[in-house]
Amino acid sequence: MPARRGPVVRILGKGMQQIVANRVAVVTGGASGIGLGISERLAARGDRVALLDVQGDVARKVAEDLNAKGAQAVGLEVDVRDRAAVDAAMDTVRRTFGPIAIAVTSAGVDADGSFTEIVWETWERVLAINLSGTFHCLQSVVPDMLAAGWGRIVTISSSSAQHGAANRAHYVASKGGVIALTKALALELAPHGITVNTIPPSVIDTPMAHAGQAAGHFPGVDAVAAVTPVRRAGVPADIAAACEFLCSEDAGFITGQQIGVNGGWYL
């Protein structure tokens, strides 16, 4: 984790200051991979961060580690498919830190399999976590942002939803839905000072990517890195850097966008 920088203050002149960090941020899937990188980045800049993850013990441990380094963080066990659990977790965040100003939805599940072999239970699970889970979390926090007249939402989608991918119809459909939901919310919430953007990563070196390689349906991070235009795989910090900007005051005129963090693919 980078050294905590504390609240960021912008000098406006004539003795006026504006705090542009130290807000309350919720990161789903925040205990590992991309979500962990984002949680660390927002905590380092001075935001109070709640890590929501189905791996409750891991989320709590990450939060403890962040707090030991001077951050303000809490880890909560949440299955994003469970709306009651999501609402309860958001209430805990409010009691702990205050109204929620930033939401990053990184919780997700990978999936692979030929279209004719996808069973309904698998289709439903992938959509429930990746798309409906995003819906539950955002609908639960948007009222805080509406009340404040300010908010930042970043969804984590996938480059596969932009160009398609064979043998991944359920995953691609779920992430395509996330992109469409992002665009719809951006238009609806823009008049209220709330921006909504999505980051569709390409291959990122995460536990999920390595699990796909072990399962035999992904060629491996090194293999993909070799043919990526920048000649390396992405890492969670790459996504976190873009996310930090989108969650900043400076990104107030950017909404409804797909910010591709992909090493040069799909230019």
Question: For strand 16-19 and strand 9-13, is the pairing parallel, antiparallel, or unpaired?
Answer: antiparallel
The answer to whether 157 and 196 have CB atoms below 8 angstroms apart is no
**Distance (Å, whole) CA 37 – CA 260:** 17
Contact 35, 206 (CB under 8 A): no
Residue 266 annotated as catalytic: no
**Helices and strands, counts by H and E, the chain:** 10, 8
Of 171, 175, 260, 263, the catalytic one is 171
Residue 121 Cα to chain centre, angstroms = 25
For residues 63 and 79, give the distance between their C-alpha atoms in angstroms, rounded to a whole number. 18
> Which residues carry out catalysis?
171
